[in-house]
Amino acid sequence: MTAPGPDAAAEVLAALLGRGQTVAAAESLTGGKVAAWLTEAPGASRTVRGAVVAYATEVKRDVLGVNGSLLDARGAVDAEVARQMARGVRTVLAADWGIATTGVAGPDEQDGRAVGTVFVAVAGPHGAGAVRELSLDGDRTAIRTGSVRAVLALLLRELTGNAGAKDTEHNGGNGCLQP
């Protein structure tokens, strides 16, 4: 599957609007890019609740409710951390869907994780959700942009019923999810 570009935000918003649902984003390495892409699309105010840029580990814990013991044991770049961030932002901002990004954009590794290691997560109603691990190539900008594309693609899959892919996906340098 080719990961969507900025038009993916419009697709996500249309799918949410069709369901009468809302979304909120919890962002670490993307630093607000997910929210920026979502709010660039016309009609965003009908579906986007807001975002939390949880760049610091303490914000992940104190604002989003990520388990402090988990953060101490595994660091912030972790699948379960991403899942808890998505659930936390969904709760904090009273949204139907929460999405999250956490990872290493570089230039140095973090928490023993290589540059380009990213986790994206989606949490939705009735326990719906998914987490994907990505291995992105490129510079900081490419990794961050690939992360935005990946989390929007993951949400779109959940919204459109195409969520049968495996839990861990890797990609090459173009930021695309590979089935």
Contact 149, 114 (CB under 8 A): no
pLDDT greater at residue 167 or residue 109: 109
* Res 55 pLDDT > 60: yes
User: In terms of Cα–Cα distance, which of 38, 11, 41, 42 is closest to 27?
Assistant: 38
Long-range contacts of 159-163 (CB under 8 A, 24+ apart): 159/12, 159/15, 159/16, 159/19, 159/97, 160/15, 163/130
Upstream peptide bond of 125 is cis (omega within 30 degrees of 0): no
> pLDDT tens-digit profile of 89-105?
999 999 999 999 999 99
Q: What is the pLDDT of residue 173?
A: 40
Domain count of the chain? Answer: 1
Contact 86, 120 (CB under 8 A): no
Instruction: Please give the residue range of the domain that contains residue 78.
Output: 7-160
77 in a structural domain: yes
Q: What is the pLDDT of residue 59?
A: 98
* Res 166 pLDDT > 70: no
Find the CATH number of the domain harbouring 63.
3.90.950.20
169 in a structural domain: no
168 in a structural domain: no
Q: What is the pLDDT of residue 40?
A: 94
Q: What is the pLDDT of residue 169?
A: 38
Q: Is 132 helix (H, G, I), strand (E, B) or coil?
A: strand
166 in a structural domain: no
Q: What is the pLDDT of residue 36?
A: 97
130 in a structural domain: yes
Q: What is the pLDDT of residue 43?
A: 87
Distance CA 143, CA 115 (A): 9
> pLDDT tens-digit profile of 155-164?
999 999 864 4
Model confidence at 176, pLDDT cuts 50, 70, 90, reads very low
> pLDDT tens-digit profile of 99-147?
999 999 999 999 899 999 999 999 999 999 999 999 999 999 999 999 9
95 in a structural domain: yes
Overall average pLDDT of the 50-64 stretch:
97
174 in a structural domain: no
Distance CA 75, CA 57 (A): 8
Model confidence at 3, pLDDT cuts 50, 70, 90, reads very low
> pLDDT tens-digit profile of 5-45?
568 899 999 999 999 999 999 999 999 999 999 999 888 99
